[in-house]
Chains A and B, each alone.
Chain A
Amino acid sequence: MAKSSSQSLLDRFNNSANALGLVFMLPAAAILLVFLTYPLGLGLWLGLTDTKIGRPGVFIGLENYRSLFNDSVFWLSVFNTIGYTAVASVFKFVLGLILALLLNQNIALKSFMRAIILLPWIVPTTLSAIAFWWMYDSQFSIISWVLVKAGLIDHYIDFLGDRWNARISVVVANIWRGIPFVAISLLAGLQTISPSLYEAATIDGATPWQRFRFITYPLLTPIIAIVMTFSVLFTFTDFQLIYVITRGGPVNATHLMATLSFQRAIPGGQLAEGAAIAMAMVPFLIAAILISFFGLQRRAWQQGSKD
């Protein structure tokens, strides 16, 4: 009797989707806990201590954040990060969308062109960053050389020595690096739009612009929301390009929160302060995710069956 009741308990467990689901989730949850939560938790903890390299710290509450609040370099990096993200994202979106629309046409060498577009994304970032650094060099810049030879300017441009020149330069490098992701993702989205919709719209009397405005764009918005969320997150947390091209200079003019955090923590040895700067990025990232979460809500027209 006892045996059969324990049997049925096991049976019930095996047949309960919820209980089984929980069990199957455990391994994934454990991995998430170890590899995501632990570093995040450690960062959060470090930010609340006065740890330095080679010296374990003690809990000091929000002291690090209080000092950051009065730190003009920190605020400069916040300003830089927001500006860098905003300007680069807008350009990546517009240029990426235009590129995707072009690649969606029946152009010659279509697959070849698509492969070419992906190049900036395939090349390791450090490598392309070094190439940009070289292109922006004050003496050997190919850009300056071409412009001088063409007679458009008479002396070499100081790309990385001037505050705004440096900012524009790194933004351009980031745009170049980020366009393929946007363009190829949007292209995939464009290809899900049935050509017969365009034909129906053509017969309904829509001009090419009206077809874009009333068919393509609304049907693409769910994908635009996803792609731009990722693009914003990548850009906001960018590190490699800046670190290789300017190291945050001149005079912190291009320091982003990520680069400043690293700068303070590792070469500077102030682990706790670096961690606090990194933690300060979290509210911005959460805000970006929330905005896209609401942007990504299934629209009324997406609901219901497909057939």
Chain B
Amino acid sequence: MASVSIEQAQKSFGRTQVIRGVSISIDDGEFCVLVGPSGCGKSTLLRMIAGLEEISGGQIRIGGDVVNDMPPKLRDIAMVFQNYALYPHMTVRDNMAFSLELAKRDRQFIEERVSKAADILGLNDLLQRYPRQLSGGQRQRVAMGRAIVRDPRVFLFDEPLSNLDANLRVQMRTEIKELHQRLKTTSIYVTHDQIEAMTMADKIVVMRDGVVEQIGAPLEIYDNPANQFVAGFIGSPSMNFLPGILRRQSGVAQVEFGEGVTLPVPRAATGEDGQKVIYGTRPEHIDLVDGSDGVPAEVVVVEPTGADTEVFSKIAGIEVTAVFQQRHEFKPGLVIRLRPDANRAFLFDAASGKRLLA
């Protein structure tokens, strides 16, 4: 086990810069999730840590050692690939034993390690099968088994669940998390799925276009997104963004949206009178109210999920999603009144997307 620290890491493919000065520090035993939209450089960064891509600039340390020029086999890391990369011509047992056999460990040691990993992952009955004879979930487990037997300092996962169906994905998510709680090996996990990030991570790193947008614990990021991008990326259904103009007059601060609709501004928000802003509110922080409270919203679609009801409506012509725990059957076109929770709303600068916060 070891800490990992990435300092101003850079990576260019030819002239295109893919990783542009990324700094992350991951503590010993931590489960860190790199999340971001497809193409933002998550895999590239992970492969730089693994030693599969050269590091164009900056430094990467594992357990204090600078590994920039260290070949992968000396870095003492194990990686689980998106397509599992199991050796098709080797049995499950041989797949798991391969690294130990290359390292010329003695037979007994290898058998012990393999059977221990097989126990943990429930692979005992499959040891003599070939990868083609396994289901997707079983292959996924073998890929993890291959990583576990090495007892490395760091586990690297590159979207390991994206080839599984939805149910299995949820199940494996839990299994990986349990495995981490049991082994406590420092893990870096790449995904584009914010739910995976929220549910699994000790620390989330949100990336976009080769830079880090925010680092923090899952709920910290959910409660306090640093900018509009992070706010929109984390949380499901994603946050509503209503463009408007900030008004500060005679001690009252509110955002104007046209059609005479205004909403009160969160207390801690900054910004000047007349500034173009984005008002952000999460679907789960909108209340349905009666009478003259809140603002009018015209219902577009209602989607009951069973557990809760998602209502899509328009406030001053802007699409807004709201989630209610109660069941509602609104006809499209009906005007209801909605009230976003002002204290849990966010204000962003329309031009830069930065959070307007004192």
Chain A residues within 8 Å of B, Cβ to Cβ? 194, 196-197, 199-206, 210, 214-215, 218-219, 299-307
Check: B78 CB closer than 8 A to any chain A CB: yes
Q: Given A200-B79, A201-B87, A304-B133, output 7 extra A-B contacts at Cβ < 8 Å.
A: A200-B146, A204-B99, A204-B102, A205-B102, A219-B89, A301-B130, A303-B132
Q: How far is the CA of A205 from the CA of B98 in the complex (A)?
A: 9
Question: Nearest Cβ distance between residue A278 and chain B, in whole angstroms?
Answer: 40
Question: Nearest Cβ distance between residue B85 and chain A, in whole angstroms?
Answer: 4
Check: B52 CB closer than 8 A to any chain A CB: yes
Check: B166 CB closer than 8 A to any chain A CB: no
Check: B232 CB closer than 8 A to any chain A CB: no
Which one of A199, A202, A210, A301 contacts B88 once the chains associate, using CB atoms below 8 Å? A301
Q: How far is the CA of A304 from the CA of B129 in the complex (A)?
A: 10
The answer to whether A196 touches B88, judged by C-beta atoms less than 8 angstroms apart, is: no
Query: Nearest CB to that of A215 among chain B residues?
Result: B87
Question: Nearest Cβ distance between residue A305 and chain B, in whole angstroms?
Answer: 6
The answer to whether B72 touches A203, judged by C-beta atoms less than 8 angstroms apart, is: yes
Check: B50 CB closer than 8 A to any chain A CB: yes
Which one of B50, B73, B86, B132 contacts A205 once the chains associate, using CB atoms below 8 Å? B73
Contacts of A215 in B (CB 8 A): 87
Check: B351 CB closer than 8 A to any chain A CB: no
Q: How far is the CA of A305 from the CA of B138 in the complex (A)?
A: 14
The answer to whether B130 touches A204, judged by C-beta atoms less than 8 angstroms apart, is: no
The answer to whether A196 touches B81, judged by C-beta atoms less than 8 angstroms apart, is: yes
Q: How far is the CA of A202 from the CA of B98 in the complex (A)?
A: 11
Known: A197-B87, A210-B102, A218-B89. A202 touches B73 (CB 8 A): yes
Query: Nearest CB to that of A305 among chain B residues?
Result: B132
Contacts of B103 in A (CB 8 A): 205
The answer to whether A302 touches B132, judged by C-beta atoms less than 8 angstroms apart, is: yes
**Range of interface residues on chain B?**
20 to 34
The residues in B between 69 and 83 inclusive whose CB is less than 8 angstroms from any CB of A are 72-73, 77-79, 81, 83
Q: How far is the CA of A202 from the CA of B71 in the complex (A)?
A: 9
The answer to whether A204 touches B98, judged by C-beta atoms less than 8 angstroms apart, is: yes
Contacts of B89 in A (CB 8 A): 218-219, 299, 301
Q: How far is the CA of A102 from the CA of B317 in the complex (A)?
A: 62
Contacts of B52 in A (CB 8 A): 199, 202-203
Q: How far is the CA of A210 from the CA of B81 in the complex (A)?
A: 20
Question: Nearest Cβ distance between residue B338 and chain A, in whole angstroms?
Answer: 46
Contacts of B132 in A (CB 8 A): 301-306
The answer to whether B130 touches A203, judged by C-beta atoms less than 8 angstroms apart, is: no
Which one of A194, A205, A302, A306 contacts B85 once the chains associate, using CB atoms below 8 Å? A194
Known: A194-B83, A203-B77. A303 touches B98 (CB 8 A): no
Question: Nearest Cβ distance between residue A41 and chain B, in whole angstroms?
Answer: 43
Query: Nearest CB to that of A300 among chain B residues?
Result: B130
Q: How far is the CA of A307 from the CA of B79 in the complex (A)?
A: 21
Question: Nearest Cβ distance between residue B14 and chain A, in whole angstroms?
Answer: 13
Which one of B77, B90, B102 contacts A301 once the chains associate, using CB atoms below 8 Å? B90
Check: B136 CB closer than 8 A to any chain A CB: yes
Q: How far is the CA of A303 from the CA of B78 in the complex (A)?
A: 28
The residues in B between 52 and 105 inclusive whose CB is less than 8 angstroms from any CB of A are 52, 72-73, 77-79, 81, 83, 85-90, 98-99, 102-103
Question: Nearest Cβ distance between residue A214 and chain B, in whole angstroms?
Answer: 7
Question: Nearest Cβ distance between residue B187 and chain A, in whole angstroms?
Answer: 15
Contacts of A200 in B (CB 8 A): 79, 81, 85-87, 146
Q: How far is the CA of A204 from the CA of B98 in the complex (A)?
A: 7
The answer to whether A203 touches B102, judged by C-beta atoms less than 8 angstroms apart, is: no
Known: A202-B52, A202-B72. A197 touches B85 (CB 8 A): yes
The answer to whether A196 touches B85, judged by C-beta atoms less than 8 angstroms apart, is: yes
Which one of B81, B86, B133 contacts A303 once the chains associate, using CB atoms below 8 Å? B133
Known: A299-B89, A306-B132. A203 touches B98 (CB 8 A): no
Pick from A203, A215, A305 the residue with the most CB of B within 10 Å. A203
Question: Nearest Cβ distance between residue A257 and chain B, in whole angstroms?
Answer: 38
Contacts of A301 in B (CB 8 A): 88-90, 130-132
Known: A302-B132, A305-B132. A203 touches B50 (CB 8 A): yes
Known: A202-B72, A203-B77, A205-B99. A196 touches B83 (CB 8 A): yes
Contacts of B77 in A (CB 8 A): 203
The answer to whether A214 touches B98, judged by C-beta atoms less than 8 angstroms apart, is: yes
27 A–B contacts from the bound complex (CB under 8 Å): A194-B85, A196-B85, A199-B79, A200-B79, A200-B85, A201-B87, A202-B51, A202-B52, A203-B73, A203-B77, A203-B78, A203-B79, A204-B73, A204-B102, A204-B150, A205-B102, A205-B103, A214-B98, A219-B88, A301-B88, A301-B90, A302-B88, A303-B132, A303-B133, A304-B132, A305-B132, A307-B136
